[in-house]
Structure 1
Amino acid sequence: MNTQRLLAPTLRSASAATLAAGGYIHARLYVDEYRFVHIIGPLFLLQASASFALAALLLLGTPPLLLRAAAAGVTLGALAGFIASRTVGVFGFTEHGLQPAPQALLSLLTETGTLLLLSIWQMTVTRQHRAARTPVRTPVRERATN
C-alpha cells in the first residue's frame, strides 16, 4: 500500500476535523456566553459558520489551493481575534488569560492544529506536483570498450 496515496486524504480529513472542532467551540461560546455581546457575538457565530462550511467543503474531495487558503484564513482570523481580545481589545471587548476555561485553551489547540495540518498538507501537495513535473532520469550505463 502506498503511504503517499493515503497522506493527502488523511491530512484533508484531519484538517476538516480540527477546523470543525474550532467552529464547534466558537458556536458553543456564542450560545453560552457571547450571544448578547455587541459585535463580538455575531463574529463568533460567523467564525463558527465559516469553519463548519469550510470543513464540509474540505471533506468533499481534494480542494483547490483557494479553499485550503480560506480555511487557513478563517483559522488565522480566530487566532488574531483571540490575541487581540487579550491585548488591545476588540471593539471594546477584552478577555484575560485562558478564560473562558477550558474553551480558550481548546480553541488555541484546535486552531494551531488546523494550521499545522494545512501547512503539512500544502507541502505534500507541492511536493507531489513537483515530482509529477520532474522527468525521471535513468542512469546511463557506460559501455565497455574492448
Structure 2
Amino acid sequence: MNTVLRLATAACLAVSGYLHAQLYVGGYRVIPLIGPSFLVQASAAFAVAVLVALGGPFLLRLAAAALAAGALAGFVLSRTTGLFGFSEQGFQPAPEALLSVLAEAAVLVLVAVTLYRVRRGTRTVRA
C-alpha cells in the first residue's frame, strides 16, 4: 500500500507540474513574476515527483505537499485579492485550472493518508 500511495503522490504532483509548464509555455511566461513562478513550480514539482517515485525519504512527500499547498494558495490568491497584480476568474484557463486544483488536492490527501498510516504504524510498534 505504501508503494501505491508513493507512486500516486508522485503522479499527481507530476500532473500539477505538467499543467503549470503547459500554462507557462502557452502564454504565462510573459506575465511578470507569475510566469517565472509557474516555471519554478513546474520544475520543482517534476524534480520532487521523480524523487518521491524513486522512493526517497518521507520528507520528500512533505515537500510534495508544500508544493501543492503553495500552488493552491497561489490559485486562491489569484482569484480573490490578486497575486503580484495578477488575477483571474473561476476555473479559467479551462481545463488546466480545474485539473491543477484536483491534482494538488489529491497530493495533499495522499500525503495526509501516508502520514496517518505512518503515525498509526508507529503507535502499533510502541504498544
Q: Which residue of 1 aligns with 2:78?
A: 85
Structure 2, unaligned stretches of length 5 or more? Answer: none
Q: Which residue of 2 aligns with 1:117?
A: 110
1:68 to 61, 69, 86: 61
Aligned residue pairs total 127
Alpha carbons 1:23, 1:47 under 8 Å: kept: yes
2: CA distance, partners of 1:34 / 1:42: 8
Q: Which residue of 1 aligns with 2:21?
A: 27
2: CA distance, partners of 1:33 / 1:115: 28
Q: Which residue of 2 aligns with 1:107?
A: 100
- The structure whose residues are more often helix, as a share, is 2
Q: Percent same amino acid among aligned pairs?
A: 54
1:51 to 41, 45, 50: 45
Deviation at 1:127, TM superposition (A): 1.2
Structure 1, unaligned stretches of length 5 or more? Answer: 1-6, 135-146
Q: Which runs of 4+ in 1 moved over 2 A?
A: none
2: CA distance, partners of 1:57 / 1:25: 19
Q: Which amino acid aligns with 1:12?
A: R
Alpha carbons 1:9, 1:62 under 8 Å: kept: no
1: CA distance, partners of 2:118 / 2:44: 24
Q: Which amino acid aligns with 1:20?
A: A
1:24-61 alpha-carbon deviations (Å, 9 max, x no partner): 00000000020111010000001101111111111121
Q: Which residue of 2 aligns with 1:15?
A: 9
With over 3 angstroms needed to count, the CA separation of the structure-2 counterparts of 1:56 and 1:121, relative to structure 1, is: same
CA RMSD of aligned residues (A): 1.0
TM-score scaled to structure 2, two decimals? 0.96
2: CA distance, partners of 1:117 / 1:110: 10
Tell me the SS of whatever aligns to 1:121: helix
